[in-house]
Amino acid sequence: MGNDINGGTSTVRRPRRPAGRRGRHRRGGTVVGLTLVPLVAWGAGACGSSSGDQPDEPAAPTTGPPSTGSGPTAPAERDRWRPTRGLSWQWQLDGEPVDLSVEAEVYDVDLFETPASTVDELHDRGRRVICYLSAGSWEPYRPDADDFPDEVLGGPVAGWPDERWLDVRRLDVLRPLLAARLDLCAAKGFDGVEPDWMDGFQQDTGFPITAEDQLRFNLALAEMAHDRGLAIGLKNDLDQVDELAGPFDFAVVEQCAQFDECHRLAPFLDRDEPVFHAEYDLPTGAFCADSARLGLSSIRKRLALDAWRQAC
């Protein structure tokens, strides 16, 4: 499959990645896992224009770019983007093309499927743009899948049998492969990167990955991103937040309200760095009040991670 910077790579339809780290996975509109912990109601009242109930159809997106200061320039010509707490965000990894009309200061979209022209257009609208990629797992439908040797491929990701864990201890093998992905992210003009599955040491990967192995891998990825002028976000991995809030520039977390864990992102918030937070099951009325108190950038999404969202 080609890897045209301007044209994207849409010759193969990408199945959705696992959504949520608590055993919930989705493919083709069918949930094949279960939530393991009961819902937690955090507060009362609706947030924004939402009633807190999931609509049958997506609400019409709002328009109008937010004020974000001067527009981004090419990575080689600017200092690294340093996002601040409270930025609004949109997370769309499916349902191409990217809906450019959503009123959000930051977009988080797929690295391979999003062409540079989309990044440019979002920049023209005053948005910052983050590239999503999986750093801790191997996905067979990616254009560079054949570059990953069998020796670093572990067991299947639960609920996602064609996706396999990576041996993050093998930086000698993975570093050049992930560097190439970060090069593509920078070449397309993205401002930052969201590397997924940064908590393999807590998963059943088939490898004896320790917390120290994971920390070494995460820090190496942060250094590689910064070398390319990219901000980098820590995905989930709440057990290592204290060590990683400094080297990382923002956090992306799923379902922290549902599992009563949002307070654990305080090391990022205390540094005035954003925590981009998504819930799937809770209505906005159950988490938006606490999100505002903590300073989270919170939205409600469908598991599909298409364009639909409810913002606090």
Please state the rounded mean pLDDT for residues 138-167. 96
- Distance set, CA 290 to CA 46, 252, 266 (Å): 12, 17, 13
Residue 160: which pLDDT band, with cuts at 50, 70 and 90? confident
Mean pLDDT, rounded, for 178-205: 97
pLDDT, tens digit, 9 for 90 and up, residues 56-111: 333 333 333 333 333 334 444 458 999 999 999 999 999 889 999 999 999 999 99
| Per-residue pLDDT reduced to its tens digit, 234-293 | 999 999 999 999 999 999 999 999 999 999 999 999 999 999 999 999 999 999 999 999
Domain segments of the chain as ranges: 43-48+83-311
* pTM value > 0.85: no
Least confident interval from 2-6, 39-43, 61-65, 286-290: 39-43
Residue 31 gets the label, from left (phi > 0), alpha (psi -120 to 50) or beta, of: beta
Q: What pLDDT score was predicted for residue 95?
A: 84
pLDDT band at 16 (very low <50, low <70, confident <90, very high): very low
Does residue 246 contact residue 271 with C-beta atoms inside 8 Å?
Answer: yes
Whole-number pLDDT of residue 30:
28
Q: What is the pLDDT of residue 79?
A: 85
Q: Whole-number mean pLDDT of the chain? A: 81
Which H or E element spans position 212?
Answer: helix 211-227
What is the predicted pLDDT for the residue at 48? 36
pLDDT by residue (tens digit) across 218-237? 999 999 999 999 999 999 99
- Do the beta carbons of residue 141 and residue 14 sit within 8 Å? yes
Q: Residue 186 and residue 177: Cα distance in Å, rounded?
A: 15
Question: Which superfamily does 43-48+83-311 belong to?
Answer: Aldolase class I (3.20.20.70)
